[in-house]
Structure 1
Amino acid sequence: MSEARRREGGRHAASLARPYAWTAGRTRPAVDLPVEALVETTIEGRTAPYSATNPLAVVTQLCLHQRSVAEVAAHLNVPLGVARVLIGDLLSARQVSVRDTLTEDTSWDERNDLLERVLSGLRAL
């Protein structure tokens, strides 16, 4: 293996390790968060101190306007599990609110429409 490929592999491994360091290695949030759930920053989150190096603060800034859990993961360029843990932590701290987009009464057509919108949004990223 060439030196360049080893360095590239090292960078890739380090870039994957960093998000898990943000969550102290946790991959599952304390609450179940569907990928399509909408996340929005609360008043508490808007008034919390901001630091560009704090991933929780970055999420609160991203969610000043509603975003899905999947969108948050895509914007942060992190695995979905990491985004869910961060959002779960913010939810526990009441810095974000989460709104489910599907209920038990949601029809098949509504579910299909939601999936189409999520896919469209992800493609737009």
Structure 2
Amino acid sequence: MRRSLVRPYARTRGRTTPCRKLELETLISTSERGRHGRAASVAQRRICDLCAETRSVAEVAAHLGLPLAVVKVLVGDLADAGMVQIHEPGLVLGDRTSREFMERVLNGLRAL
């Protein structure tokens, strides 16, 4: 993976606090508008492309090689623009989907 010379917080115009409360395990998916709309930055376009399949904030950060705080700000901006949807995970013990979700979060954490 090629590293960018752009400092991470330059991508957020120096903002370090997201406009929305996003946890490490918060799930993100690209909306219809995000699939066809124009993102404000390359990083935001990459988030929209990645989240065509629902992913956690941790996974997005790992895939992009960006700090979690930066990804949270970018995702918050995308949500405000209607380009991504934010889903709070609902876990049911013993549920197959909860196991898959936990495996994805664990893989995302390992990738960090």
Is 2:71 the counterpart of 1:83? yes
Is 2:85 the counterpart of 1:97? yes
Distance in 2 separating the partners of 1:115 and 1:60: 20
Q: Which has the higher helix share?
A: 1
Gapped regions of structure 1 (runs ≥ 5): 1-11
Q: Which of the pair has more CA radius of gyration? A: 1
CA offsets 1:23-55 (integer angstroms, 9 cap, x no match): 01111110000111110000000011369x621
Distance in 2 separating the partners of 1:49 and 1:76: 19
TM-score (norm 2): 0.78
Distance in 1 separating the partners of 2:16 and 2:30: 22
Gapped regions of structure 2 (runs ≥ 5): none
1:119 aligned to 79, 82, 106, which one? 106
The number of equivalent residue pairs is: 106
TM-superposed CA distance for 1:20, in Å, is: 0.6
Percent of residue pairs identical: 42
Distance in 1 separating the partners of 2:81 and 2:43: 14
Distance in 2 separating the partners of 1:120 and 1:27: 25
TM-score (norm 1): 0.71
What is the Cα-based RMSD across aligned positions, in Å? Answer: 3.0
